[in-house]
Amino acid sequence: MSPCPPAADATEVVITCALTGVLTNPTQHPVPVTPEQMARSAREAYDAGASVMHVHFRAQEADRGHLPSWNPAVAVAVADAIRAACPDVILNFTTGTIGRDQQGALDCLRAGRPEIAACNAGSLNYLKARANGQWAWPPMLFENPVEKIEELLAVCREEGIRPEFECFDVGILRSVGMFADVGLVPAPNYNLVMGVASGMPADADLLTLLPRYMKPQSLWQTTLIGRDEIWPVHRKTAELGGHLRTGMEDTFYLPGGERANGNGQLVEALVEIAEQAGRKVVSPQRAREIFL
């Protein structure tokens, strides 16, 4: 992991595919669960133009594929299968745990040795209200105190893994700059997570403001959660020079509103948007030079 990756040409764009996400039921949605399914879906996304695979791990027991797993053996099996299917692919492991305990995530990082680890850069009240005035789920705190972040960053340094800072609101985004100021990270890589009901909305107008709160010359991308409203924000990201991400973790819907049949279709749609904005989708080899 180099402390300061070389600057990309302004026209170049790296595409990440978030393959499966958390808790989505594979009996209801086309999300991969087993190492074989993850590798097959990753290959579809890779062939469509994705160079980075953001990976969550699921329980492998029968009828439990909708549940997360922090079993290092599962992480290794999934990582090995994707790497075998996708030459030079960059792996980005999830690390998100609702509470303070993240030992399972750290164990998976040490076992699977991804190139990138998602680092949730601050705490968030994770909320959603239904139209009938009821909570969609019991209010929960997505707990990410600084000591938890420091613990994760220490493992990233030990293992040569580049952290990607997940920013759910503007305060979290600004906190990442302070992490750099106090020496926790030399060159932040920002991921603007937009569309969580209690975080930043998926609003293209925000993207004209948010980069001013990042460290100069930083890598940044957007993660956009929602339906057809996210695609204009992808387009604005591409126009402003950000990197791009899509996948079954983030949406099930294509720009026209129809349901996607898998990750490959979503990446194809994102590549089209990138190219319309004058961006060049880079190879995995070039993505390594830019991101790592």
pLDDT, residue 68, reads 95
Q: Which residue has the tokens 């590549």?
A: 271
Helix segments in 13-112, DSSP class H: 35-48, 72-85, 103-112
Residue 3 lies in a domain: no
- Based on the structure, what is the number of domains in the chain? 1
pLDDT, tens only, 180-228 = 999 999 999 999 999 999 999 999 999 999 999 999 999 999 999 999 9
Model confidence at 8, in pLDDT bands (50, 70, 90)?
low
Q: What is the CATH number of the domain that holds 114?
A: 3.20.20.70
pLDDT, residue 4, reads 47
Residue 6 lies in a domain: no
Phi, psi of 201 (to 5 degrees): -75, 160
The closest of 251, 232, 246, 229 to 281, measured between CA atoms, is: 246
Instruction: Please say if the pLDDT value at position 113 is more than 90.
Output: yes
pLDDT, tens only, 27-85 = 999 999 999 999 999 999 999 999 999 999 999 999 999 999 999 999 999 999 999 99
Residue 214 lies in a domain: yes
Residue 5 lies in a domain: no
pLDDT, residue 9, reads 80
Residue 2 lies in a domain: no
Residue 24 lies in a domain: yes
Instruction: Give the domain range for residue 266.
Output: 12-291
pTM of the model: 0.96
Q: Greater confidence, 176 or 23?
A: 176
